[in-house]
Amino acid sequence: MKDGWEMKRLSEVCEIERGGSPRPIESYLTSDEDGINWIKIGDTKGVTKYITATQEKIKPEGARRSRMVFDGDFILSNSMSFGRPYIMKTNGCIHDGWLVLRRPKVDHDYLYYVLGSDLVFSQFDSLAAGSTVRNLNIGLVKGVQIPVPPLPEQQRIVALLDEAFVAIATARANAEKNLKNARALFDSYLNAVFSLRGDGWVKRTFGDASILKIIDGDRGINYPKASDFQDEGYCLFMNTKNVRPNGFDFNSTMFISEEKDKQLRKGKLQRDDVVLTTRGTIGNIGHYSDDIPFDNIRINSGMLIFRPNKRVLFPAFLFELLRSEIVKDQIRKQTTGAAQPQLPIKTLVNFIIPIPGDIEEQRQIVSKIDGLRAETQRLEAIYQKKLVALDALKKSILHQAFTGEL
């Protein structure tokens, strides 16, 4: 440690108090003008440093059972996403998931930066208790140690960090913009394919049996019970979590035995089937192509199988069509149910879809889409790496700052 620097406990640097929650909180919430800001973890969404407003308020009598915080106070979450510091730019009350740090004896911005560094978070991380929901109690936080250089050195460090982080924030914003633009370019091209169609395209419906067959998942008396599912087995039993906006996701899987599989009548996939979710999260899709590593798959009743007639409808073209705005717009308009959204098959069969009459043209369209997708994914990987590198640079600069190397 550099000459003149000291390691001090947080309790030596500032006063630390825990928030409080009037219960039941529902009885104290109010929309009255004289209500007092009720600060929740959700109020930090999109916030990096200053909390300026809250979504909810509590009655003055509720404030007497809570903890008031004021402009300039630090608050620190002590549960869930623990250890993240924020500075109040308004007054309000904090519940018992927050700690408040008052009257710091160090530079205000210096304390903010050091609390957000890995030097401090690593101490929080090792002290947090609990396996599922890890918490920081006030006694542990008071014992966390931070480096405290002389005030002029604190101010020098803050000035350097301010300048560096402005540059990093600008670079990050540019990388995020480029990432968003790359995705938008692909989506724009995909939608243009189906809206700026050329000669030889015809309008059909999903109910046209000459181009595809629609099959729903199994249900009824033989439908698998919880005890039928296993971590490994003969047949993958796919639920809606396995179908994402742009393809399958098999990070979480469950299986049924060959015996149970034989009891079911519907919902068995064949290669080149396309799957569409029609309950809960509607419109996610997957193409059961040859590169999918499971030979036996069944779907549950929250999705449908689209089985194209390969003489007139190229399966990969159908997959791209289902991803397009042409279909998504019809899904949004025809989805019913607020609590449990669903897309009835009797509605889906009437969707109007544009298709080139020449299946070779369908293949060529898919080839162009695949080429642009590969380029888009390459660009996305570059921008994602830049974002990771910027995060690592920020941590490195903070580390240097609080070990006296900056």
pLDDT in tens, 274-295: 999 999 889 999 999 999 999 9
Closest C-alpha among 310, 318, 332, 314 to residue 274: 318
pLDDT in tens, 239-286: 999 999 989 999 999 999 999 999 998 899 999 999 999 998 899 999
pLDDT of 134 strictly over 70? no
Report residue 25: phi and psi, to 5°: -60, -30
pLDDT in tens, 307-321: 999 999 999 999 999
Helix (H, G, I), strand (E, B) or coil at 116: coil
Does this chain's domain 6-149 share its CATH topology with 201-357? yes
* Chain length of the chain: 406
Closest C-alpha among 70, 65, 66, 61 to residue 32: 61
Fold for the domain defined by 201-357: Adenine-n6-DNA-methyltransferase TaqI; Chain A, domain 2 (3.90.220)
Please, what is the Cα angle at 84 between 74 and 66, to 5 degrees? 50
For residue 221 the two structure tokens come to 């008396």
Closest C-alpha among 352, 356, 281, 370 to residue 314: 356
Closest C-alpha among 406, 362, 402 to residue 106: 402
pLDDT in tens, 70-100: 999 999 988 766 778 999 999 999 998 899 9
pLDDT of 8 strictly over 70? yes
What sign does the dihedral 337-341-345-349 (CA atoms) show? positive
Reported confidence tier of residue 223, pLDDT bands at 50, 70, 90: confident
pLDDT in tens, 360-404: 999 999 999 999 999 999 999 999 999 999 999 999 999 999 998
CATH no. of 6-149: 3.90.220.20
**Residues in CB range of 49: below 8 A, 6 or more apart:** 86, 87, 112
Determine if the pTM surpasses 0.85: no
pLDDT of 9 strictly over 70? yes
Share above pLDDT 70 across residues of the chain, in percent, rounded to a whole number: 98
Give the end-to-end CA distance of the chain in Å, rounded to a whole number. 12
How high is the pLDDT of residue 133?
54
How high is the pLDDT of residue 177?
96
Can you give the residue ranges of every domain in the chain? 6-149, 150-182+358-406, 201-357
